[in-house]
Amino acid sequence: MSVTGNKVQQAISFAVAGLATGSMPFPLERDPVRDEALRKLAAVAGDRGWSIAVLRDVAGPDADLLFPGGPVEMVETWSDVCDRDMVSAMLETDEPRLSQRVKQAILLRLPTDTAMRMGARTGFGVLASPCARGALRRSLLRTVNAIWQAAQDDSSGVTYVTKRMTLSMVYGATLLYWVSRGRDEAALAAFVERRLADVLRLGKVKARLSRSAHTPRAAETSASAT
């Protein structure tokens, strides 16, 4: 992998590690004209990059006025567009199992289309730059939240937070896999399945340990009462 690729992977890893301490970022401006301009740019961004010059070339000479924040705003907004596309596509799912709905949402969010993957890779390079000021972390937070929304999860309180922390680890690992080796849809699906299975196994182990820790205490309390 290239030096740039290694930097992108490192930036994603750091951003994922910081998700546990972050609150939901501010919402982005949503506008059909901006969305359409970004769709045109994303189609060529893997080869040509996320620059103002390329945006003007594919979306019109005044398209730069749509994104006063420059390339960082463009890429961060494109991530939000992809989140919304994923949520919309998940509206028709009839999968009864929450874990499988989460899997479906992740795979919809990370398609194996080459142009999409390469555009995302160059986009991560933009968001990983020092001038991005946390844009990569904000984008990942929005995506993790959108996946739970797409999966029709209605948890709240502590469960709401812990689920997002857990999914951030799964999504972060999947994102790194997708960027570097996500050409094979079946292999990507199997990777997601393994990561989710690991989470479920860990949850069961924690539950057993918790029950074991409380059982002796309950027995002692009962014995002392008699």
Q: Establish if 216 belongs to a structural domain.
A: no
Number of independent structural domains in the chain:
1
Domain of residue 152: give its range. Answer: 27-207
Termini Cα distance of the chain: 68
Q: Establish if 5 belongs to a structural domain.
A: no
Burial 41-66 (b: 16+ CB within 10 A, else e): bbebbbebbbbeebbbebbeeebbeb
The alpha carbon dihedral of 196, 202, 206, 207 has a sign of positive
Q: Is 12 exposed, middle or buried (0-12, 13-18, 19+ CB in 10 A)?
A: buried
Q: Per residue in 51-99, pLDDT tens?
A: 999 999 999 999 999 999 999 999 999 999 999 999 999 998 999 999 9
Angstrom distance (rounded) from CA 168 to CA 30: 24
Angstrom distance (rounded) from CA 102 to CA 99: 5
Q: Is the pLDDT of residue 177 over 50?
A: yes
**pLDDT for position 211:** 57
Angstrom distance (rounded) from CA 112 to CA 209: 39
Q: Establish if 212 belongs to a structural domain.
A: no
Q: Is 176 exposed, middle or buried (0-12, 13-18, 19+ CB in 10 A)?
A: middle
Q: Establish if 13 belongs to a structural domain.
A: no
Identify the CATH number of the domain in which residue 93 sits.
1.10.357.10
Least confident of 55-59, 196-200, 201-205: 201-205
Q: Per residue in 5-46, pLDDT tens?
A: 566 677 777 777 666 566 778 889 999 999 999 999 999 999
3-state secondary structure of 105: helix
Q: Establish if 17 belongs to a structural domain.
A: no
Q: Per residue in 110-166, pLDDT tens?
A: 999 999 999 999 999 999 888 888 899 899 999 999 999 999 998 888 888 888 888
**Block residue for tokens 């596509």:** 89
Angstrom distance (rounded) from CA 124 to CA 15: 11
The number of beta carbons lying within 10 Å of the beta carbon of residue 184 is: 11
Report pTM: 0.84
**Block residue for tokens 């996500």:** 182
Q: Establish if 64 belongs to a structural domain.
A: yes
Q: Establish if 70 belongs to a structural domain.
A: yes
Q: Establish if 40 belongs to a structural domain.
A: yes
